[in-house]
Amino acid sequence: MRYSTRLTVLAPTLALSLALAGCDNASDSEMPMATEEMPMAVDEMPMNVENMPMTQSGAVRAGSAQGTVTEIDAEAGTITLDHGPVPAMEWPAMTMAFDATPEVRDEVAVGDTITFEFEASDAGNQITSVSKQ
Ligand SMILES: [Cu+2]
């Protein structure tokens, strides 16, 4: 009984505060609260929707590039690639190590030229898929 009473009280309050927030947004284009909260929502959405259940912090960006496998390190869990430029990341061509799962490492051999997709975040650069040229 008490709960249902509280619910009926809470629901209109929530609706009212949402309506007020909507009014504020419409009438004031530079609302400090909105600009503070927006980036967090934008950062978190792609992680939940697109990305694998990896431990990551901050924003995750997806990129793809072509490269030649120069080293596969099972112990470190990495594939080193001599890769071309990645405009999406504003990366120049370079040789660097990417994190890669055993499944992905098994798909390539040193000397292979591959097209690969990866995710870049604070946690590192993880290859998510590879295809041989
Ligand atoms: Cu690189």
pLDDT in tens, 95-120: 999 999 999 999 999 999 999 999 99
For position 7, what pLDDT does the model report? 47
84 pLDDT band, cuts 50/70/90, is very high
Place of tokens 């098994």: 106
pTM above 0.75, yes or no: no
Q: How far is the CA of 85 from the centre of ligand 1 (A)?
A: 8
Q: How confident is the model at residue 6 (pLDDT cuts 50, 70, 90)?
A: low
- The 10s digit of each residue's pLDDT in 13-52 is 444 444 444 334 444 444 455 444 455 444 444 444 444 4
Ligand 1 centroid to Cα of residue 74, in Å, is: 19
Distance CA 91, CA 73 (A): 23
Q: State in Å: Cα 122 to ligand 1 middle.
A: 15
pLDDT score, position 3: 53
Q: State the distance from the centre of ligand 1 to the C-alpha of 89, rounded, in angstroms.
A: 9
Judged by phi (left if over 0) then psi (alpha if -120 to 50, else beta), residue 10 lies in alpha
- Give the phi and the psi of residue 18 in degrees, each rounded to 5: -65, -40
Q: Which two tokens stand for residue 103?
A: 């499944």
Ligand 1 centroid–CA 22 distance in Å is: 44
What is the 76 CA–ligand 1 centroid distance (Å)?
Answer: 17
* R_g of the chain, CA atoms, integer Å: 23
Q: Which CATH superfamily is domain 61-132 in?
A: Copper binding periplasmic protein CusF (2.40.50.320)
Distance (Å) from CA 123 to ligand 1 centroid: 15
